Structure formats: structure tokens, C-alpha cells
Amino acid sequence: MKIRLASALCGCALFQLLQIGDARADLGEDAARLSHAWGEHGILRRLPARMGERGAPSVIFLPIELLSGPQSSCVSVAVMAPTSTHFTLRAAGNAYLPDSPEDWPQASLAGLVQITRCGSRKSRLSALVVEMRSPRAVLEVIAVESQQPVPPAVEVLPQRDPGPIAPFTGLSIPAQPAPIADRLAAIEAKARRAGSEELEREFSTSSPRGAGLVRHALEAGCHRLDVLVEPAEKRAALGDLALMPELDATASLVSLERGDGLSAALTLCAGERTNATFRYAGAPPESRIWLVLSHFPLPLGLLDGWGSGGKARMAAVLYRHGVRVSRPPVEQALGVEGPTLMPMPVEPGACYVAAITAVQGQAFGLALAARVGSSEVQNHSGASGDGTLVSFCARGQETALIESDSRGAGLNWLLALWETSRLPLGEELRH
């Protein structure tokens, strides 16, 4: 009996080892096929296979030569495991953009996740985080740098294409979008109410893959770009339109919005005339794309001495928080990484806004606090790390204690304090 039991156990163990061996063989073959197909489009690197385990996130660093190519090139990464494996993949490299849905973890389908980023956005792929949902599995990582996005991995490996996935639906029928003319008119009316000095409307045609780009010369100021498409007749879901900017050092991103799938928008501020490129993807193939560009003036309270980049970054912080300043700051300061305590003179009865922004280096987070008497306010920039602000009023005090805390690499920051309003007469005497 003992001999038979031992034999049975050995047989089960051998069967499991054979299964693992078959899975690794299939995975290796898929990795080799994808490497061959993608290698025809650019510089390819197949990283050494690694073991992923649940509860122990794995960080993948891409080779620097893939990320240091031409500014306009693209980087694509495919992470593969056996088809029955579940895991998530997240881009966690240099923070070029504020956190957006495209940086959320992507779940694997049939053991595969592919991420593509182009232009300045490819720096997000310098570090990738894999978190296993299955107990453990071998992971293959293939990355390529190319002039154009490479074909989707599921076209090379059709056995890993799970086919159409029904969207989550409720009991109600999704409302049909309004006609494109009404949607364009609503966007332009909203821009005028917000104080837009100039509006431009144009259209483009998406590529057979539903992608494209638009180049614009932008004057100094803040600008909002709205992109709209019409739903495809045979498309089950509303869509997944995404907008991706490529900006130089004289411009700063305010926000990046993904709408209902048929629209996307971004807002940026430029300190001087600049050339900006906007890529879009997720539109119906070869369809008309409508673009509305709204222009707004820079806040009057910015100083030329900050340079075009400093003005753009400070304007982006003010615009993001809906703050307008019309006079020069009453105080300003420059600083470097770490905590800094700054006593600043204030006038009893006056209200202020203090804003901080990174002007050089890579910021991983900026925090700002202001203490006046017994009251204290504080705020932080979040993961984007590009800046934040606080507002406060001085009652009977003549000094405000401003404290900043910054983290980054080679980081220099700019802080400015503006007087924005006055308390009603006698209000400063109340505590």
C-alpha cells in the first residue's frame, strides 16, 4: 500500500512538472514570435525571464537606450505569462503627466498586457510594476523603441486575443450623444463664459487605427483643447478616445481629461510662444475628428523674471485651482529639495494666496502649509508633484509662517505670495 501511494504521489508531481514545462515552452515560443515580429520595427530588447509571486510586486526597469531615442519615437512593452495567469501592469516611471486613467493598473487578458507610450510620455515606461493575482508565474518582458507604434501583440499572437468583451452595463440604456454640432456649440459657449479671448475650430481624419496627431503654434497664455468624435455605427461601446500632449519646457500641463469615450480634453499654460503636438488614439478608424482650441490670457500677477518656464508652471498651478491674481506678488522665494520654513510679513485684515511650483529638476511631491496665529492651512501636490497652493487671511497678525516640504531629484522650486482681498472692516479684530 505504501509503495502504491508513493508511486501515485510521484505520478502527480511528475504530471505537474510536465504541465509547468509545457506552459514555459508555450510562453517561450510566444515571446520568440513577438520578438521576431516587433524586431522588424525598431530596437528590441527581450529582458531575462523572471518569476512573479502574489504579494511581492515586481519592478521592471527598461534599458535606457530604449528611452533615450528621438523625442518623437514610441516605446511599446509587452509583459506575458502563461495564458491562464492573471496579473496587473502599471507604468510608474518619471511623472510627466498628472495621474490619469491611462496610468491606472491594466489587467492581463490571456496572460498578456501591452502598453505603448510616445514622445515625452514614454518616460512613464522607465519603471513598470507587476502585481500578481495568480499565485505565481514566469514572466516574459519584451520592449521595443520605434518611430511609430508597433502592431498590437494580439495580432502577432492571436491565441492570446480573448475576443470582444462585453462592457459593464446597468438596467438602463445609455443615452445617445447629442449631434456633433450641438456638442461643439456647448463647448464653445462654455469657453466664452470662462473668459476665452479666442476660439479655433478645425477637423482632422483619424488613421485606419483610429489615431492621429495635431500640431499647433500657441501664443503665451493658457489653452484648452477639446477633441470630439462621432460614435461608429457598428461600435458596441461608446469608445475610448484618449489625448496625449507633447510639450517643451516653456509649457506646463494643467489637466488631462478623458470624457465619455467620444471626447477628451486637456489644458496647458505656455510662458511664451511654443509649438505643441497633440496625439490622439481610440477614435473610430478613418473618422472625422473635431477640435476646439480655446485661448485664455496668462494671469497678470506673474513676473517676467521667472522666465517662460517658471511663468508657465506657476500659471498652471493657479489655473488648476481656479485662482486669479491681477497684481505682482508681495513676496517670492526660491528653494531646493527638503523642508523650508519662511516667515513672511503680512498686513492685518488682508487675505493671501501662496503658491509653489517646481521650476527645475524632477519633483516627486510638493507640500505647502501656512500658519497665521492659531489657524493653519495646508495642501499638497499629489503624485504629479508639479505644485500646489494655500489661501489664508491675517487678522491681527503681521507675520505668516510659510512652510514648504519638497521631494525630488535636482529639484528647485519657486514660491510666490499674492494679496488677493481684504476682510470687512473690523473683521480682522475677531479671533
**Which candidate, 305, 298, 300, 247, places its Cα nearest to that of 271?**
298
pLDDT > 60? residue 276: yes
Q: What pLDDT, on a 0 to 100 scale, did the predictor assign at position 13?
A: 42
Is the CB of residue 52 less than 8 Å from the CB of residue 133?
Answer: no
pLDDT > 90? residue 247: no
Instruction: Report pTM.
Output: 0.61
Is the CB of residue 363 less than 8 Å from the CB of residue 338?
Answer: no
Q: How far apart are CA 143 and CA 284, in angstroms?
A: 27
Is the CB of residue 386 less than 8 Å from the CB of residue 317?
Answer: yes
pLDDT > 80? residue 14: no
Domain with CATH 2.60.40.1780 in the chain: 180-296
What pLDDT, in 10s, does the model give residues 337-389? 889 999 999 999 999 999 999 998 888 788 999 999 888 999 888 655 689 99
What pLDDT, in 10s, does the model give residues 74-114? 999 999 999 999 999 988 876 444 445 566 788 899 999 99
* Banded pLDDT at 176 (limits 50, 70, 90): confident
Is the CB of residue 242 less than 8 Å from the CB of residue 258?
Answer: yes
Main-chain dihedrals φ then ψ at residue 95, nearest 5 degrees? -80, 85
Helix, strand, coil shares of the chain, percent, nearest 5, are 20, 45, 35
Is the CB of residue 46 less than 8 Å from the CB of residue 151?
Answer: no
pLDDT > 60? residue 275: yes
Domain with CATH 2.60.120.380 in the chain: 19-153, 322-429
What pLDDT, in 10s, does the model give residues 294-352? 999 999 999 999 999 999 999 999 999 999 999 999 999 999 988 999 999 999 999 99
Q: How far apart are CA 321 and CA 377, in angstroms?
A: 15
Q: How far apart are CA 276 and CA 286, in angstroms?
A: 23
- The residue ranking higher by pLDDT, 39 or 18, is 39
**Which helix or strand (DSSP H or E) is residue 192 part of?**
helix 180-193
- The residue ranking higher by pLDDT, 118 or 233, is 118
**Which candidate, 421, 188, 202, places its Cα nearest to that of 325?**
421
Q: What pLDDT, on a 0 to 100 scale, did the predictor assign at position 239?
A: 55
Residues 6+ positions from 250 with CB-CB distance below 8 Å: 270, 271, 272, 274, 308, 309, 312
> Which CATH number applies to 19-153?
2.60.120.380
The CA radius of gyration of the chain, in Å to the nearest whole number, is: 26
* Banded pLDDT at 140 (limits 50, 70, 90): very high
**Which helix or strand (DSSP H or E) is residue 169 part of?**
none
CATH architecture of the domain with range 180-296: Sandwich (2.60)
Is the CB of residue 117 less than 8 Å from the CB of residue 125?
Answer: yes
* Banded pLDDT at 121 (limits 50, 70, 90): confident
* Banded pLDDT at 4 (limits 50, 70, 90): very low
**Which candidate, 292, 132, 264, places its Cα nearest to that of 201?**
292
Q: What pLDDT, on a 0 to 100 scale, did the predictor assign at position 246?
A: 87
Is the CB of residue 415 less than 8 Å from the CB of residue 310?
Answer: no
Is the CB of residue 101 less than 8 Å from the CB of residue 387?
Answer: no
> Which CATH number applies to 322-429?
2.60.120.380
Main-chain dihedrals φ then ψ at residue 227, nearest 5 degrees? -120, 130
